[in-house]
Amino acid sequence: MGDAAPNGVLRYIRHMNTVESLRIPEREGVLAVFIGPQRELIIVPSAKENAGKVERVLGDKSEMLAIGNKFEAVSGGMDEADNGSYGKALVRKLLEERSLSIEGSQIQLLPMNVPVLQKNGGEPSLYRVQIGIIRLTADQIKELGQKKIVVPDGEVRNFVKNDESKLRPSLVYILNALVQNGELR
């Protein structure tokens, strides 16, 4: 995608900036993933101090599909001081650890402000995150499922996490289903 993101992607991100239902409660760390209007994969690393999940996203369901509510494969954090470098480094690290070659595409990183719920029920505060946009082919998605990653805390994990005897669906399983259904190409 290079430096020039398709207009549809920019409109999508601008729209998400105004969606108040995109919330990050202080819960378990997750990796939130969206399929954008240009069928790009959008990765949102969650924040350590505001770890949580994307509850729902308003909009045209044919253009945006929120998945990843139960994924704990990656939990990361960033703050204003690093000017988004953590989010950028995390997305790049994921690609490096998975040994993926994204031919013809570069990682597109865009800033995004998301409202974070307050425990006292007050007005949500805005939290700045970096959105990593990449394109994956079906073959790359299959390859991704065979890779292990090293997350920022040094722990080696893969996409299938057995948590309290409950095997959670893997990201690659859902992405493969999206490819089969024509949602992601």
Quote the pLDDT of residue 83. Answer: 34
Distances (CA, A) of 112 to 67, 89, 91: 18, 16, 15
Question: Please, what sign has the CA dihedral across residues 164, 169, 170, 171?
Answer: negative
Indicate if the pLDDT at residue 10 is higher than 50.
Answer: no
Q: Rounded to an integer, what distance in angstroms lies between the CA atom of residue 184 and that of residue 60?
A: 16
**How many C-beta neighbours within 10 Å does residue 176 have?**
17
Indicate if the pLDDT at residue 153 is higher than 50.
Answer: no
**How many C-beta neighbours within 10 Å does residue 109 have?**
17
Q: Rounded to an integer, what distance in angstroms lies between the CA atom of residue 67 and that of residue 141?
A: 15
pTM for the model stands at: 0.26
Radius of gyration, CA atoms only, the chain: 16
Residue ranges of domains in the chain: 7-177
Summarised one tens digit per residue, pLDDT across range 93-147 is 444 544 333 343 444 444 545 444 445 556 655 544 444 444 445 455 455 445 4
Quote the pLDDT of residue 162. Answer: 36
pLDDT category at 176 given cuts 50, 70, 90 is very low
- Residues 6 or more apart whose CB falls under 8 angstroms from that of 150 comprise 93, 97, 156
CB 24 within 8 A of CB 114: yes
Summarised one tens digit per residue, pLDDT across range 38-96 is 444 444 444 333 333 332 222 222 222 222 222 222 223 323 333 334 334 444 544 45
Element housing 109 (H / E)? strand 108-116
| DSSP state string for 33-102 | EEE-TTS-EEEEEPPSTT--------S-TTT-EEE-TT--S------GGGTTHHHHHHHHHHHHHTT---
Summarised one tens digit per residue, pLDDT across range 17-52 is 333 223 333 333 333 444 343 444 444 444 333 333
CB 86 within 8 A of CB 76: yes
